[in-house]
Amino acid sequence: MINTRTMPPRLPERKELLRTIARFSGRRVLVVGDLMLDQYVRGAVGRISPEAPVPVVRVTGESHIPGGAGNVVNNLASLGAKVSVLGVIGEDDAGARLVEHFRGRGVNVEGVCVDVERQTTQKCRVIAERQQVVRFDRETSGPLSHATESRLLASLDAELPDADAVILSDYGKGVINPRVLSRAIGAARRRGIPVTVDPKPEHFRLYKGVTCVTPNTSEAWACMRRDAKPGSDAIDALGADILKVLKSRSVLITRGPDGMSLFEEGRRPRITHIPTQAREVFDVSGAGDTVISTLTLALAAGAPLRRAAALANHAAGIVVAKLGTATTDAKELARAIR
């Protein structure tokens, strides 16, 4: 049974939030996960092709930005963390770009494995007059080879002792597998540092014992293999059940325009609903990456879960008001709280 009679717990005060932000700088966070490169090709449509009934896009510009676990790395670097990244790329231009981008931001890339048999995950979006025309995906998403997995595990053993927190960013492309998970979660727990997971519902039961999992609403339902039900009571029961199954310290369900709900373990789960802080919403893509980055960095800085979640919610409120997959920094976050 869930205790619904208790008053909602007090949300952390501004002063406490600001104190945690002041401790972001230099915290060491290890990101393990599926790296991706997002490519944007921009142009104008002048006419329909004489070859086939498709628009002809005259290309005027092109840009690249890390996606997936790479977007988590970017968010953390912007917030002031010292980031190390573990993942797999192919021996290709997209992989080289990712590494170059990370190096440019001072990220430790020692743990990025090049696997010549795999392609770097890349999503190329063609945007004409602000409209997405088509997206091309390139990826190898099967299980890792034995050799690549061994290198990844060795890097994990090398990097984990230096970390203040670990993020497992699972986009289901192969890096987060049972062995990598159990090694990372086991080592983090032995060291007493927080370990958080952005989950893939298919791997859900492998995340046992982590500090926090951060599914969005539909992932949370999928994790429990249930059909989604509307309403706050249904979410309360769902979160409590996830806690029970995972035996994790907490679950943070991100609920888009409805903010987020934090469930903390206890004889009765403690539930905190946090309304969104967003004033304007332009682009929600990548908000989930901002949530797990801010949450984990705050935990690494010594914040309790509720304060970390409140900060993550503020950070998400900032990035959804920006165009594209965006990030925020400590200064902007502090300003939003004042």
8 Å CB contact between 133 and 99: no
Q: By C-alpha distance, which of 104, 88, 103, 100 is closest to 139?
A: 88
Nearest residue to Mg ion on Cβ basis: 288
Of 145-153, 154-162, 183-191, 284-292, the window that binds Mg ion (rule: CB under 5 A) is 284-292
259 touching Mg ion, by CB under 5 A: no
Q: Which is nearer to ligand ATP, 39 or 294 (CB)?
A: 294
Q: Binding pattern to ligand ATP, positions 288-317, x when CB under 6 A? A: xx-x---------------------x--xx
Burial 76-98 (b: 16+ CB within 10 A, else e): bbbbbbbbbbbbbbbebebbebb
Alpha helices by DSSP H, 68-145: 69-79, 93-104
Is 137 part of the annotated catalytic residue set? no
CA distances to 11, 72, 73 from 67, rounded to whole Å, are 32, 8, 9
Q: Of how many residues is the chain composed? A: 338
Indicate which residue of 137, 233, 289, 329 is catalytic.
Answer: 289
Q: Which residue number has the CB closest to ligand ATP?
A: 288
Task: Kindly state the number of chain residues that form the binding site for ligand ATP, as judged by CB under 6 A.
Answer: 21
- Show the binding pattern over residues 287-306: x = contacts Mg ion (CB under 5 A), - = does not: -x------------------
> Taking CB under 6 A as the rule, does residue 168 contact ligand ATP?
no
Site for ligand ATP in 202-221 (CB under 6 A): 216
Closer CB to ligand ATP, 27 or 200, in the complex = 200
CA angle 147, 113, 175 (to 5 degrees): 75
Could you identify the residue written with the tokens 């770009």? Answer: 97
* Cα torsion 142, 144, 145, 148: sign: positive
* 286 belongs to the binding site for ligand ATP (CB under 6 A): yes
Residues found near Mg ion in the complex (CB under 5 A): 288
Residues tagged active-site = 289
Residues found near ligand ATP in the complex (CB under 6 A): 216, 254-257, 259-260, 276, 278, 281, 284-289, 291, 313, 316-317, 320
